[in-house]
Amino acid sequence: MAVAIRLIVNGEEHKVEVEPWWSLAYVLREKLALTGTKIMCNNGACGSCTVLIDGQPVSSCLKLAVLAEGKNIITVEGLGNTETGELHPLQETFIKYSGLQCGTCTPGMLLTAKALLDKNPAPTEDEVREALAGNLCRCGTYKRIVKCVLIAAETMRGGK
């Protein structure tokens, strides 16, 4: 039996009819057409479906959409400035320093990194690695990803 829920995604309120067993990732992609959120392993292991719920990184493939009722959700589409199209410093850095190869893990990496930098604007390399521990990159670009997060952190702190 479908349940009507309210989701606030990237600042925009959506009313969606969902089946109780639908994952948030499925609803975001198939019902709200926000395909930036990637479904890879579909069991919480890879982190590519990471979105932020009330600022916390969450595996949206595990999260039932009904359990996200009324919550503030940020997907990769809402990471930059949605009005001006300006990218988030993390996105800028990932592009500039090639923090990706195939790009499938990127949305999850960006959002997990954003959650880290929101809490800890000056993380050490170990802290970045720890935070990204649940995000797998099948191309193995970890070194550059970590570097990008550190550079973006510096930029956001007002460095170069």
Partner 1 sequence: MPMEYLIPSTKDEAVSMLDKYGEAAVIIAGGVFFTPHKEELFSEAEVLIDIGKLGLSYINADEKGLKIGATTSLTSLMTSKVINKGVYRVLAETVEQIPIQRIRDMGTVGGEVCMSAETDLPISLMALDAKVVLSSTKSRIMSLDEFYTGYLSTALEPNEMVTEVQLPLFPPKTGAGFCKFERGTVDLPIVNAAARVTLGADGKCSAAKVVLGCVTFPPVIADNAAKLLIGKNLDEKIIESAAETAADMECITDIRASGELRQTWIKVAVRKALNKAYEQAKGGK
Of the ranges 53-61, 71-79, 96-104, 144-152, which one interacts with partner 1 (CB under 8 A)? 53-61
- 156 burial level (CB within 10 Å; 0-12, 13-18, 19+): middle
Alpha helical stretches, state H, 79-124: 89-96, 106-119
Q: Is 57 in the site for partner 1 (CB under 8 A)?
A: yes
3-9/72-74 β-pairing: parallel
Single-letter code of the amino acid located at 80: G
Q: Which residues contact 159 (CB under 8 A, 6 or more apart)?
A: none
Q: Is 151 in the site for partner 1 (CB under 8 A)?
A: no
Least Å from the CB of residue 88 to partner 1: 20
Nearest alpha carbon to residue 47 among 99, 107, 124, 120? 107
Q: Is 152 in the site for partner 1 (CB under 8 A)?
A: no
Which positions from 1 through 20 interact with partner 1, judged by CB under 8 A? 1, 3, 19-20
Over the window 107 to 136, marking each residue x when it contacts partner 1 by CB under 8 A and - when it does not, the resulting string is ------------------------x-xx--
Q: Where along the sequence are the contacts to partner 1 (CB under 8 A)?
A: 1, 3, 19-21, 23, 41-45, 47, 50, 56-59, 61-64, 66-67, 131, 133-134
